[in-house]
Amino acid sequence: MHKAIHDQASGLRSLMCFGQPMDSMTLTSLGDLLSKIDGLGLTSFEKKLDALTIPIVHLLDSSSKGAPLDILNASRIVLHINQSSESIKAAYGIIKLLSQSSDERELGFLIQASSATKSQTIFHNIKMAANAFHHIHPTYLGCLVSGNTYISAHNSDM
């Protein structure tokens, strides 16, 4: 009887943590997500972030009105951007907003672009701009190549 209850409990934990043991879901940094999200669909990634209570901000179109209030107190945030100038400007605006606080912030970037190389170039430029703020730490989480809904999280020492 005890084994059956244990099996049900571990099965529930496994379902809640997307097949990973509960203790493996604790992250020390957003970079820890890289090995866990490669090949994952965007919807599954959003569910994983939700389970970890990490907000994601979608800045994909020009109607993005800036940062939602719930990210102002978060120490880890994911920004989903694309290669449009409006999206990149909105991401930089959030970096500037968060830089007004002296709190350490880790910003993960999921970049939707025409190619992985383009997404890495966009991240490199954002990272260089964010270097002015020593308590803002950008992390490249991966890219969604246009027309694909699966994340490619191959990090080439960004």
Residue 59 lies in a domain: yes
Residue 7 lies in a domain: no
Residue 9 lies in a domain: no
Count of domains observed in the chain:
1
Measured between alpha carbons, how far is 29 from 31 in angstroms, rounded to an integer? 5
Measured between alpha carbons, how far is 46 from 97 in angstroms, rounded to an integer? 23
Q: Write the burial class of residue 140 (CB in 10 Å: 0-12 exposed, 13-18 middle, 19+ buried).
A: buried
- By residue range, what is the domain housing residue 56? 27-145
Residue 91 lies in a domain: yes
pLDDT at 107: 94
- Encode pLDDT of 38-56 as tens digits: 677 888 888 888 888 899 9
Among residues 39, 42, 73, the alpha carbon closest in space to that of 60 is found at: 42
pLDDT at 68: 74
Portion of the chain with pLDDT greater than 90, in percent: 38
The tokens 């449009």 sit on which residue? 84
Measured between alpha carbons, how far is 42 from 20 in angstroms, rounded to an integer? 18
Residue 8 lies in a domain: no
pLDDT of residue 153 exceeding 90, the answer is no
pLDDT at 67: 62
Q: Which of 8-17, 75-84, 94-103, 127-136 has the lowest mean pLDDT?
A: 8-17
pLDDT band at 154 (very low <50, low <70, confident <90, very high): low
Residue 158 lies in a domain: no
Residue 113 lies in a domain: yes
pLDDT at 118: 94
CATH code of the domain containing 58: 3.40.50.300
Whether residue 78 contacts residue 55, with contact meaning beta carbons closer than 8 Å, is answered with yes
Identify the bridge partners of residue 137 per DSSP, sorted by sequence position. Answer: 106
